[in-house]
Amino acid sequence: MNKKIIPLLLASTTLLPGCFEQKTQDSTQSAAPTVSKEDAVAVVNGTYISKQSLENLEQEIQQRSHGQTFPKEQLLEELIQRELLVQDALKKQLDKTPDFIERMQTVRNSLLSQADLKNFMESHPITDEEIKAEYDSKMANAGTEYKARHILVKSEDEAKKLIEELKKGADFAELAKSKSTGPSGPQGGDLGWFTADRMVPPFSEAVIALENGKFSEEPVETQFGWHVILREDSRAQTPPPLEAVKDQIRQMLQRQQIQSMMENLRKQAKVEVLLTQAEEKKAQPDQETAGETEETATEQQENEAAPAEQSEQPAETQEQETTDPKTAE
């Protein structure tokens, strides 16, 4: 029977039975979907090229070229050339080579993993009720935004000395520039606008307790050191409408579902890591280089006026940063 042709790399998946079970070319083709003459746009040495293959290639080209289109005759010629190459490769039994089989195994595994995730998402759709519940949960904590500066030092005594200087009239921003060990020091300790939940509890509690324009008269301790905090301003936070963040919330909930599924699969599986310590160390980036990269990333965050510093609060996940309705304005 004739084999249905699928564009690009996906076409090779139709050859998998022949690759892994070492079947003949004829048996490989008999396992593939058939294409009738009525559904074909061309025939190459007895093998039909389907109309669906042409449509698939046309859609793929449009996606990759951002809407650019090509004449159907040109796309059809592309499919014909591919079929000629496939047939020539099979004639030479290139599908039986170890390198080809290994690469096809990789493609097969990738497609199967994607298919499993797609199947899971389709069988566990996120409902509008779940999205509304997540939105309401986030909005319940929307509350107030704060604008603050801080000076981070290593000891309580250092922090107390700074407080005494502030009481005598010292400029907070200038002290932060000269004394703070935090990444925001060069910017005068400026943290920009943030909500309380974006900071570690001792820090946010101190900010909430202060009045606008006041600084903390007692040092505030967190796992990052000792802080002197100046609350510059505050404002009521206006949350975005549900419709504006609905898709973001849906994606976040989907990722959470997938993560939970993967954790369950891992718990049920028997997994043994065979990578040796030497191989693992070789695979990891150089620590010094990694440190420089992290420092550069932190500086970039500050330059973009992020509402909280990475080195002074627990780093939030990318998921939280991109899907939190409060930050989606």
Q: Give the pLDDT of residue 240.
A: 86
- Residue 113 belongs to a domain: no
CATH number of the domain where residue 250 is located: 3.10.50.40
Which of 54, 49, 57, 40 is CA-nearest to residue 86?
49
62 and 181 share a domain?
no
Q: Give the pLDDT of residue 68.
A: 81
The residues pairing with 226 across neighbouring beta strands, listed in sequence order, are 153, 221
Per-residue pLDDT of 115-149, as tens digits, reads 999 999 999 999 999 999 999 887 766 678 999 99
The pLDDT of 17-25, averaged and rounded, is 33
- Residue 186 belongs to a domain: yes
Q: Give the pLDDT of residue 32.
A: 55
30 and 146 share a domain?
no
Amino acid identity, position 35: V
pLDDT band at 4 (very low <50, low <70, confident <90, very high): very low
The residues pairing with 227 across neighbouring beta strands, listed in sequence order, are 152, 220
- Three-class DSSP category at 121: helix
User: How many domains does the structure of the chain reveal?
Assistant: 2
- Residue 104 belongs to a domain: no
Per-residue pLDDT of 263-315, as tens digits, reads 999 999 999 999 877 766 676 655 444 444 444 443 443 333 333 333 344 33
Domain boundary among 99, 132, 159: 99
Least confident of 67-71, 191-195, 200-204, 254-258: 67-71
- Residue 173 belongs to a domain: yes
More confident residue, 200 or 25: 200
The fraction of the chain above a pLDDT of 70, given in percent, is 73
34 and 71 share a domain?
yes
- Residue 118 belongs to a domain: no
221 and 304 share a domain?
yes
The pLDDT of 73-81, averaged and rounded, is 94
- Three-class DSSP category at 325: helix
233 and 184 share a domain?
yes
- Residue 239 belongs to a domain: yes
Domain boundary among 99, 133, 158: 99
pTM over 0.85: no
What are the Cα distances from residue 185, in Å, to 178, 227, 315, 316? 7, 12, 19, 21
Q: Which domain holds residue 57?
A: 8-99
Distance of alpha carbon 253 from the chain centroid: 13
Q: Give the pLDDT of residue 81.
A: 96
Q: In this structure, what are the phi and psi dihedrals at residue 290, rounded to the nearest 5 degrees? A: -60, -40
